[in-house]
Amino acid sequence: MVGLTPSIILTYLAFVQTRDALRREIETSLEAQATRASIDVDHLLFERLQNGLGWSRLEVMQDIRVGDVDKRLSQFLAEVKTSYGSIYDDVYCSDAAGRIVASSNPRLIGKSSPPARPWLNVTMPNGTVTLDAPRADPADGQRVLPIRAAITSAADGSPLGELVLLFDWGQIDRILDGISGGDRAAVLLDDRERGIAASSGLRSRGIPGAGPPADWQLPTGQASGAAERAAELPGAGDTMIGFNRSRGFEHFPGLGWTTLVLQPSASALVIVQRMRWIFIGLLLVTLLLTAGFAVLVAARIAQPIALLTTFTRRFASDHALPPAPPIMRGEVGELTSAFIRTVQDLDRSRQDFFRASKLAVAGEIAATMAHEIRTPLGILRSSAQVLRQEPELSSEGRELVGYIESETERINRLVAGVLDSARPHPPVFARRDLRGIVHHCVAMLAPQATRKGVTIAEGEAHGDLAIDCDEEQLTQVVLNLLLNAMQLLPAGGRVGVECRGDGDAVRLEVGDSGPGIPEQERFQVFEPFVSKRPGGLGLGLSVVKQIVLAHHGDISIGESRWGGALFSILLPRSITP
């Protein structure tokens, strides 16, 4: 019920919001169509009224005084009707006695003008025009709107007659037909809200006829809008209406007419009915999903506790931290999270203790070895100094003696450092060429590599490889990596060392053709006393990583181009104090 009740409420609210939005969209569409038709009607009538006023003041209209004896006025009216196509059914001029003296239709000349039935007097900025009520033209039965404009004498301003434009009322019907179609209809109301024109569907039903239903009374003081009324269209039930009252065009004040666009509510809101069924279907789907989810939750209510129990048992049996179970919400989730943090802290403490024990053992071994090594180191250094005094010593021998002296001195300093402090001494940075350090290490190990049948290939280095480093410690790093590779390789093995620039850093890579290091074991090789070589102590790579980190660098393990191990070290060029 907790899941179903919000689903029902949210679905109902969503339906109501969507239904109202669709209704507003339909009403906006009806109102927009009514507004467009109203503007088109105003524009059309404005041009016709301007035509009547403008033509009535032309010089050619003065020919009424002489009865248009030269037919110049009739020819003008015929040209006007032709140029405007079907806009006007006929155009004629009558004299003061009401006799037609000129016409676009020669058969009307000499006849009496139909009596005026004034309907609307329209005051324009440049004159007044009278509109008769729409009527059927006796000649062809077509509905016309007579537009009358007075013709006055250019000499004394006395009335000479009038210009009558028989405007084709079908132009208004066609505007209404253009916005109707399907189940939409359109009606044009006069200033008293009486029907004067309608779209074809309503005309076939006799609307407008005697007048529209009383329900067509629209809200007062509202220029346009939309509404829903009962029984607006015959046999259609409730009807949605969009309306627009004429606002005029330019300086034309308008005739106060109103355009209506009507559509039966049932057809207008059919999409709402479809949407109702869609929402009902969505609600049913939601109900099924909610019920299924409730069953699932009930079935798995004890899952967090079961997962936590499995996690604890694996940790106790494997002595290693297993993957943590997913944390769920609620009190059980909080308990799981707190317990996992406790176990993780315990595991970190165990690892720290184990690492500290290893380092303590390493310190004891180093102290013992340092005491035992100092004596033979002193003998080696003294022997090397004596050998250097031999006059027949070759240049290669002198170079080897130099290596012995420098390396015994370096080892002596390392031993002294172990004895002086329990922690590694910080590096002393100076600007050194990494290329030279690598070359020096390769040269020192070349005889040993030759005896073992291993090839050490030093890659060609390009560009500036000067970095801030402790030369002694970095030499120890390169030697350890090269020695580790050589000790694992059989005769015929290959070791490659390469250094190159890498933006604001330099990269040192040592790769070999050995068996390589499995990916799942790579994170362990830098731990103290972890060694894959028989007889190895597992301290070399631990020291390497410690020195690299002290140089603000990074070391990673990959696969070399020969398929063996590849140690890649990235060191910054400059170290800011």
For residue 326, CA distances in Å to 98, 350, 419, 445, 468 come to 102, 24, 49, 53, 46
**Superfamily name and number for 172-271:** PAS domain (3.30.450.20)
Mean of pLDDT over the chain: 81
Write the pLDDT tens digit of every residue in 118-134. 988 988 888 899 999 88
Residue range 475-501: average pLDDT?
89
Residue 69: the pLDDT is: 86
Residue range 110-116: average pLDDT?
90
Write the pLDDT tens digit of every residue in 161-184. 999 999 999 899 999 998 887 788
Q: pLDDT band for 296, please (50, 70, 90 cuts).
A: confident
| Window from 2-11, 87-96, 388-397, 480-489 with minimum mean pLDDT | 2-11
User: CB-based contacts of 83: which residues, under 8 Å, 6+ apart?
Assistant: none
CA dist 152 and 269 (Å) reads 58
Residue 19: the pLDDT is: 75
Residue 420: the pLDDT is: 44
Q: Which residues of 328-350 are buried (b: 16+ CB within 10 A; e: fewer)?
A: eeeebeeebeeebeebeeeeeee
Write the pLDDT tens digit of every residue in 347-391. 766 665 665 566 566 566 666 666 667 667 777 777 777 777 777
Cis amide prior to 322 (ω within 30 degrees): no
User: CB-based contacts of 104: which residues, under 8 Å, 6+ apart?
Assistant: 74, 77, 78, 80, 81, 82, 88, 90, 91, 92
Q: How many other C-beta atoms lie within 10 A of the C-beta of residue 408? A: 20
Half-sphere exposure of residue 258, counting CA atoms within 13 Å on the CB side?
Answer: 27
**Spatial contact of 554 and 481, defined as CB atoms under 8 Å apart:** no
Q: pLDDT band for 276, please (50, 70, 90 cuts).
A: confident
Helical spans, DSSP H, in 84-129 = none
CATH of 45-171, one of 3.30.450.20, 3.90.650.10, 1.10.10.10, 3.10.20.90: 3.30.450.20
Q: Which residues of 66-98 are buried (b: 16+ CB within 10 A; e: fewer)?
A: eebeeeebbebbbebbeebeebbbbbbbbbeee
CA dist 297 and 301 (Å) reads 6
Same fold, 45-171 and 172-271: yes
Q: What is the pTM of this model?
A: 0.48
CATH architecture of 324-423: Orthogonal Bundle (1.10)
Q: Is the pLDDT of residue 60 over 80?
A: yes
* DSSP code at position 108: G
Residue range 40-65: average pLDDT?
91
Residue with the larger pLDDT of the pair 213 and 279: 279
Residue 236: the pLDDT is: 52
**Spatial contact of 52 and 165, defined as CB atoms under 8 Å apart:** yes
Q: Which of 264, 266, 219 is nearest to 243 (CA)?
A: 219
Residue 360: the pLDDT is: 60
**Spatial contact of 245 and 256, defined as CB atoms under 8 Å apart:** yes
CATH number assigned to the domain covering 430-572: 3.30.565.10
Write the pLDDT tens digit of every residue in 301-360. 666 677 777 777 776 776 666 777 766 666 667 777 777 777 777 776 666 566 556 656
The DSSP string of 29-93 is: HHHHHHHHHHHHHHHHHHHHHHHHHHHHTSGGGGGGGGTSTT-HHHHHHHHHHHHTTTSEEEEEE
Write the pLDDT tens digit of every residue in 145-156. 999 999 999 888
- Tell me the one-letter amino acid at 241: I
Residue 151: the pLDDT is: 93
Q: How many other C-beta atoms lie within 10 A of the C-beta of residue 505? A: 16
- Tell me the one-letter amino acid at 425: H
- Four-point Cα dihedral 250, 251, 254, 259, nearest 10: 0
Half-sphere exposure of residue 132, counting CA atoms within 13 Å on the CB side?
Answer: 22
Write the pLDDT tens digit of every residue in 181-240. 778 888 888 888 788 888 887 777 766 644 445 555 666 667 788 877 665 555 556 788
Residue 502: the pLDDT is: 84
Domain map of the chain by residue range? 45-171, 172-271, 324-423, 430-572
Residue 284: the pLDDT is: 82
Residue 336: the pLDDT is: 72
Main-chain phi, psi angles of 331, to 5 degrees: -65, -35
Q: Which of 267, 229, 256, 225 is nearest to 242 (CA)?
A: 225
Residue 137 in tokens:
């033209």
- Tell me the one-letter amino acid at 146: P
Residue 280: the pLDDT is: 80
Q: pLDDT band for 418, please (50, 70, 90 cuts).
A: low
Q: Coil, strand or helix: which one is 5?
A: helix
